[in-house]
């Protein structure tokens, strides 16, 4: 496998989904995370939801303790979850919107409309040396608000792009390109994720300055058929053509 300029964070939430469906103690989220690392993943992402539908509190602590790469904890701005994040001290937290009735995260966080509510948790996590990322749509106002708030990183929501038919993705791709350029000019690290899979991944390679892709559901689904190491390596191999958005 050729080394890629892009980093891969594997989201293992849906290993926990499978476990929770039967109320068993398997499959192990930790084992899955370690298998992803062994296959070359640069980090592990987990989302501790308020309703605990998949990842549980104990999973967060166990993964944090046992992995050797970076833990990215996705979370809503909820007081209980903020306290857990501060106690666990992951390498990074990614603040996301969250609704109980949604199947998965729908759209980006409204940073611009929630500056007052976000200011204190962002400050507290930065004081704890946790990198703070904002999961946002490629909207100029949201990107500027993230920078104003002091978050050093954003994760561009690629779900809208991925959900469109291939022949209709052009305008959304341009939004992602412009968003990444704006973020870079503001000094923000640019990550991206949501809905990415082997089929649609090459289409976002025009987006410049991307540092990390966070991919979960498609990897776990592929792993059911071929095993986690093969599924992770397939995504890593697919990422190798990325040239930073340059021809």
- What pLDDT is recorded for position 247? 62
- For residue range 9-65, list pLDDT tens digits in order: 999 999 999 999 999 999 999 999 999 999 999 999 999 999 999 999 999 999 999
More confident residue, 199 or 102: 199
Half-sphere exposure of 245 (CA within 13 A, CB side): 17
Work out how many domains the chain is built from and give that number.
1
Active-site residue (options: 37, 74, 98, 155): 74
Please check whether residue 247 lies inside any domain of the structure.
no
Averaged pLDDT, 115-131: 97
| Interatomic CA distance for residues 159 and 123, integer angstroms | 28
Establish if 145 belongs to a structural domain. Answer: yes
Has 194 been annotated as catalytic?
Answer: yes
User: Which residue among the candidates 14, 37, 42, 47 is catalytic per the annotation?
Assistant: 47
Domain-embedded: residue 178: yes
Per-residue confidence (pLDDT) for residue 184, from 0 to 100: 98
Domain carrying residue 119: 7-239
- CA-to-CA separations, 112 to 41, 150, 205, 220, in angstroms, rounded: 32, 12, 27, 33
What torsion, rounded to 10 degrees, do the Cα atoms 187, 122, 10, 64 define? 130
Tell whether 30 is covered by a domain: yes
Q: What percent of the chain has pLDDT over 70?
A: 94
Is 245 inside any structural domain? no
1 within domain boundaries: no
- What beta strand segments (E) does 173-227 contain? 189-193, 210-215
217-246 pLDDT, tens digit per residue, is: 999 999 999 999 999 999 999 999 999 977
| Residue 14 is among the residues annotated as catalytic for this protein | no
pTM of this prediction? 0.94
Q: For residue 195, what is the domain's CATH number?
A: 3.20.20.70
Is 227 within 8 Å of 20 (Cβ atoms)? no
Active-site choice (42, 54, 194, 222): 194
47 has catalytic annotation:
yes
Residue 223 φ then ψ, to 5°: -65, -30
């Amino acid at each position: 496998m050729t080394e890629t300029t892009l980093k891969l964070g594997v989201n293992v939430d849906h290993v926990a989904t499978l476990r929770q469906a039967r109320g068993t103690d398997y499959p192990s989220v930790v084992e899955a995370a370690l298998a992803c690392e062994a296959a070359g993943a640069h980090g592990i992402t987990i989302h501790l939801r308020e309703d605990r539908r998949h990842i549980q509190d104990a999973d967060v602590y166990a993964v944090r303790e046992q992995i050797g790469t970076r833990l990215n904890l996705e979370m809503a701005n909820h007081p209980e979850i903020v306290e857990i994040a501060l106690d666990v001290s992951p390498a990074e937290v990614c603040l996301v919107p969250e609704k109980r009735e949604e199947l998965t995260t729908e759209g980006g966080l409204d940073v611009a409309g929630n500056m007052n509510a976000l200011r204190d948790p962002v400050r507290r996590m930065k004081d704890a040396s946790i990198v703070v990322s904002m999961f946002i749509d490629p909207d100029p106002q949201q990107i500027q608000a993230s920078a104003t708030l002091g978050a050093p990183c954003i994760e561009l929501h690629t779900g809208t792009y991925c959900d469109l038919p291939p022949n209709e993705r052009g305008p959304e791709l341009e939004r992602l390109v412009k968003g990444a350029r704006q973020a870079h000019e503001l000094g923000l690290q640019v990550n991206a994720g949501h809905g990415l899979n082997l089929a649609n991944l090459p289409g976002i390679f025009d987006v410049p300055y991307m540092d990390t892709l966070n991919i979960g559901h498609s990897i776990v689904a592929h792993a059911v058929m071929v095993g986690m190491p093969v599924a992770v390596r397939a995504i890593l191999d697919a990422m190798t053509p990325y040239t930073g958005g340059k021809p």
